[in-house]
């Protein structure tokens, strides 16, 4: 995913764990968060909750292999602007990021 997005001109930072992600977001204020639903130690909903609690208000996209109507509803309630099912088409991810960041400075 990182290579795909970099190849399409996006500046991408990836993280092995949520702690590093939260610390980086506080420091660098990214234009958009793309996170998986299931991760070691937490899930994407919890990650976005932690970022919101830290003051980050940017757009977020959830990617999941466990898509359901219930997860979609939860994700939207947590503040995700889009949920993309795995395996995701390259165009679906790129379009979701462009839609989420449209109108932001630098885009």
In this prediction, residue 107 has a pLDDT band, given cuts at 50, 70 and 90, of very low
Percent of the chain with pLDDT over 90: 72
pLDDT tens for 57-83 read: 999 999 999 989 999 999 999 999 999
Residues 2-101, CATH architecture: 3-Layer(aba) Sandwich (3.40)
Give the whole-angstrom CA distance, residue 77 versus residue 73.
Answer: 6
Mean pLDDT of all residues in 17-42: 87
Domain coordinates in residue numbering, the chain: 2-101
Mean pLDDT of all residues in 27-56: 91
Reported in sequence order, the residue ranges of the chain that DSSP labels E, i.e. its strands, are 33-36, 38-39, 42-43, 60-64, 82-85
Q: What is the pTM of this model?
A: 0.90
């Amino acid at each position: 995913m990182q290579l795909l997005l970099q190849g399409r001109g996006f500046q991408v930072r990836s993280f092995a764990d949520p702690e590093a992600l939260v610390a980086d977001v506080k420091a660098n204020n990214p234009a958009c968060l793309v996170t998986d639903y299931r991760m070691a130690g937490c899930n994407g909903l919890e990650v976005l909750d932690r970022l919101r609690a830290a003051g980050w208000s940017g757009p977020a996209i959830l990617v999941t292999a466990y898509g359901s109507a219930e997860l979609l509803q939860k994700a939207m309630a947590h503040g995700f602007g889009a949920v993309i099912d795995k395996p995701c088409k390259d165009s679906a991810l790129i379009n979701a990021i462009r839609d989420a960041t449209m109108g932001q400075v630098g885009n």
